[in-house]
Amino acid sequence: MGTSTKPSTPTKGEATRNRILDASEVLFAQNGYIGTSLRDIAKEAGVTMGLVHYHFGNKHLILDAALERKLELLHGAIHASFADAQAAGRFELEDMVAAFILPFLQFASRPDDPMRNYIVMTSHLMSSYRLPELRPILAKLSIVSQILIDRLRERCPDLAERELLAGVYLIEAALIFMVQDPGFLDDISAGHHSADRLEEMAAPALRFFAGGLQRLGAS
């Protein structure tokens, strides 16, 4: 008979650290980096300021840990999405864009998904990219962007690098806004679409992004 290994129970310190990171993820998603204080995080986590300082020291280090915590999960989800497209024989430009943006829209559209707050948090944080202390942290997200860049290079070998990178930037800029949108979509579409149903925007977004990339290649 084989022996089963029970999952290890987090120590008290690990549990406290995770509560602080969970709280910071929620607050950074709601209020961004600048709009969130250490006191806010301590209150949301139900811990003292002393424990926050003990485990992380400052907000900058909390952000770093919060970003790192699920980065590999996001990276893996995007890789898996491209692998699924390839296995199904979907190699068109629209398929490449779909493999990249659909996981983001799906995570952001599902309130109970454990990745939802992380996705919204990272989108909010990109608005603070110009802060010198945050750029090295947020730059870690580039490993996710690189997946799309590499696949587009394979799919569009004749597309100039300058145009390809411009296209990726525009796709990501639109995606960042879509994911953190609190309701602008509802207003501008006169109720035809909703920020609470982002997955419904996948089809028009795919046509728009793929069409834009094709036009860049024709310019």
Plot region of 156 (φ>0 → left; ψ -120 to 50 → alpha; else → beta):
beta
Q: What is the pLDDT of residues 86-134, one digit of tens each?
A: 999 988 999 999 999 999 999 998 888 999 999 999 998 988 888 888 8
> What does the pLDDT read at residue 1?
45
Residue 53 has pLDDT above 90, yes or no: yes
Half-sphere CA count of 12, side-chain side, radius 13 A: 2
> What does the pLDDT read at residue 23?
97
> What does the pLDDT read at residue 8?
60
Contact 202, 100 (CB under 8 A): no
Whole-number Cα distances in Å, 57 to 49, 53, 54, 61, 64: 10, 4, 6, 7, 12
Q: Answer whether 0.75 is exceeded by the pTM.
A: yes
Instruction: Tell me the CATH number of domain 67-218, given options 2.40.50.180, 1.10.357.10, 3.60.110.10, 3.30.1540.10.
Output: 1.10.357.10
Q: Quick one: what percent of the chain has pLDDT higher than 90? A: 72
The pLDDT-based confidence of 200 (bands split at 50, 70, 90) is confident
Identify which of 63, 67, 74 has the alpha carbon closest to the alpha carbon of residue 144: 74
Letter for the amino acid at 25? E
The domain ranges of the chain are 67-218
Q: What is the C-alpha to C-alpha distance for residues 96 and 164, in angstroms, rounded to an integer?
A: 13
Contact 128, 134 (CB under 8 A): yes
Whole-number Cα distances in Å, 104 to 201, 202, 206: 12, 10, 13
Question: DSSP letter at 189?
Answer: T
Q: What is the pLDDT of residues 129-176, one digit of tens each?
A: 888 888 999 999 999 999 999 999 999 999 999 999 999 999 999 999
* Residue 43: alpha-carbon gap to chain centroid: 25
